[in-house]
Structure 1
């Protein structure tokens, strides 16, 4: 049965300090607290659009780099950026979609997206507003929002995992992330919102609302018990290298391939212990919006994120991780062992 999406009872940060460690939750500014509430609400609304709108199956085509885009991608981005404009209109934005691609699809598709956005935000909107929200990129400064309205569009189309991803980068570091994962089962809930950051802790709640629960990475240090995640799409990684790492490190808990930044949520929740994303070609650089939200969430849960050379991810070089080779995400104890294996493999 599809999840339902009631309105949140409050835009405030609902941390239940009776079920988490207060020492791990540092005070946040009132602005960030407000932003977190608004983003959680916006991600819920974008997820509702993706789940309930028939637009995703009515229209899709291949854009740059042969990646698919659906009407739901455009609608979800409009919903997310509408929320940001309301509270931080001058913050910079890196976002995957642009309205020119939507317009190119034709007037009927634009009208369908406008209708879907109106339903998601529960108010009248115009196509001009929707196109403007999609293209909003804010200003400059040290705060950048990284938006992937549907991370894992191929997963959405085939009925597998996908995520609505919003990350906040301050001074080059991901400080907050939110992932709406309508098809992910976590902590006994099907369809979850995972959010947090390195100064906040990491939490999960149902996309339908309810209790907020803390998440922490696993404590697994024995490679024989470790579970590793990889990407479904061969173009997003190097399965042969992943297999060599599994063999060299002695990872015995299994290797699972799933779509999207749902992999970051799985590591943050202790469902998996490692996520390895090699580069599939020398000239490829990862997109910032494919990792900012997930990196903040795993860091908030106590995990570790580097590239395959052990370097921190550099989020300061535009919309790509220009200075990094691949991505390695872990629970912490297994990280250096995997880095050594990667160095030995070369």
Structure 2
């Protein structure tokens, strides 16, 4: 890809290889009988007990975080803070678990440093106490931001999207997004268990670890691209398959029956109303879903939250939505508004998502609104 963001892409491509290696090491420990793909050796014996205790840490929002999430976030924050020291950083995980659990902090720093040795720039700058530096980076990426900071160049990180699926050895993603003036500019997504040649609908369990994984990336205005995860230079441009699609060509991407936050019946009802096969591609993580839409494993998704005060999280969507937009897709909320990334960590200016080929997005949106009215929930999406 020939764009003015070559430096940013080069930095993220290298960092995401380190991140992937960390995820594979932990995945091999979780599932030693499976082939998680090429990875460095598992941690030494003295570290195994600490790693074992770090695999299922429950957070305040009743979701899980693992040592892989935390170590990947540490590496990505370190790389980006060195390469772009004046840029704002936003990342999913806080330092709360690290402060509460010294054993977890030790294994996270060990994973981060060990896997970074092939990329000397990661920890070579500055030296000092790596654990303390990790904590400072996490605090920086979790700090409240003034309203004016939405205009600043910003990196948004989701170290592992689909952590619950990851712990089962199923599809997960690593998401790095770059924003300027709250607009998606650059997206890099790693899918370590997806074959780059996959062309048919998939579920979380349809993994291909031996393939080496898939890298999907985009720069606004330059299209979306796919490559083998370990070889970004072998990328090819994705066709703009979502520019002009007839209603009969709609294909679903969803997360059906696995999350309590969504109004499950809505996507199924929309599919029935539009004669769209359902569930089609069915994945837990939002980032894998956006990537699947870009890759043509589907072209339509609908998400209506059960509660009006339930908001999406920026790291699940920023950048990853750009992948679909760059192949012709259109993304709005249930009210038909553009997705506003300026609020910060929570997208509290929007409610839910409607993503579809640009040519028929209005039909899908109308189906959602009609069904809400028919089900006596017409006032539900309105503020």
TM-score range, shorter chain: 0.7 to 0.9
Which residue, 293, 302, 315 being the options, matches 2:341? 315
- 2:273 corresponds to: 248
Task: Give the whole-Å Cα distance in 2 for the aligned partners of 1:82 and 1:280.
Answer: 37
Task: Give the whole-Å Cα distance in 2 for the aligned partners of 1:37 and 1:73.
Answer: 22
Name the structure where strand makes up a greater proportion of residues.
1
- 1:206 corresponds to: 228
Deviation at 1:254, TM superposition (A): 4.7
Task: Give the whole-Å Cα distance in 2 for the aligned partners of 1:316 and 1:211.
Answer: 34
- 2:14 corresponds to: 41
Establish whether residue 121 from structure 1 lines up as the match of residue 147 from structure 2.
no
Assess, with a 3 A threshold, how the Cα gap between structure 1 residues 240 and 97 changes in structure 2: closer, same or farther: same
Establish whether residue 258 from structure 1 lines up as the match of residue 287 from structure 2.
no
Task: Give the whole-Å Cα distance in 1 for the aligned partners of 2:99 and 2:222.
Answer: 39
Give per-residue Cα distances to partners, 1:139-190, cap 9 Å, x unaligned. 8452221111111111101222111111112112111111111112232555
SS at 1:264's partner residue?
A: helix
Which residue, 250, 264, 277 being the options, matches 1:226? 250
Establish whether residue 283 from structure 1 lines up as the match of residue 309 from structure 2.
yes
- Give yes or no for contact 2:156–2:178 (8 Å, CA) kept in 1: yes
Task: Give the whole-Å Cα distance in 2 for the aligned partners of 1:72 and 1:132.
Answer: 18
Deviation at 1:303, TM superposition (A): 1.6
- Give yes or no for contact 1:306–1:328 (8 Å, CA) kept in 2: yes
Deviation at 1:272, TM superposition (A): 0.8
Task: Give the whole-Å Cα distance in 2 for the aligned partners of 1:317 and 1:63.
Answer: 23
Higher normalized contact order (CA 8 Å, seq sep 6+, divided by chain length) = 1
Q: Show structure 1 runs of 4+ deviating over 6 A.
A: none
Establish whether residue 76 from structure 1 lines up as the match of residue 75 from structure 2.
no
- 2:208 corresponds to: none
Task: Give the whole-Å Cα distance in 2 for the aligned partners of 1:214 and 1:314.
Answer: 27
Which residue, 170, 173, 179 being the options, matches 1:163? 173
- Greater C-alpha Rg: 2
Moved more, 266-275 or 51-60: 51-60
SS at 1:298's partner residue?
A: helix
- Give yes or no for contact 1:56–1:71 (8 Å, CA) kept in 2: no
- Give yes or no for contact 2:271–2:278 (8 Å, CA) kept in 1: no
- 1:303 corresponds to: 329
- Give yes or no for contact 1:167–1:176 (8 Å, CA) kept in 2: yes
Task: Give the whole-Å Cα distance in 1 for the aligned partners of 2:165 and 2:356.
Answer: 23
Give per-residue Cα distances to partners, 1:14-70, cap 9 Å, x unaligned. x2xxxxxxxxx7x42xxx321111012111211110112369842222112211111
Assess, with a 3 A threshold, how the Cα gap between structure 1 residues 237 and 253 changes in structure 2: closer, same or farther: closer
Task: Give the whole-Å Cα distance in 1 for the aligned partners of 2:278 and 2:241.
Answer: 13
Deviation at 1:277, TM superposition (A): 2.1
Assess, with a 3 A threshold, how the Cα gap between structure 1 residues 228 and 54 changes in structure 2: closer, same or farther: closer
Q: State the Cα RMSD in Å.
A: 2.2
Task: Give the whole-Å Cα distance in 2 for the aligned partners of 1:157 and 1:111.
Answer: 20
How many correspondences in the alignment?
318
Deviation at 1:331, TM superposition (A): 2.9
Q: Is there any run of 5+ residues in structure 2 with no aligned partner, and where?
A: 31-51, 199-210, 373-383
Moved more, 321-330 or 210-219: 210-219
- Give yes or no for contact 1:201–1:214 (8 Å, CA) kept in 2: yes
Deviation at 1:299, TM superposition (A): 1.8
Task: Give the whole-Å Cα distance in 1 for the aligned partners of 2:29 and 2:314.
Answer: 24
- 2:293 corresponds to: 267
Task: Give the whole-Å Cα distance in 2 for the aligned partners of 1:117 and 1:308.
Answer: 40
Which residue, 188, 195, 216 being the options, matches 1:178? 188
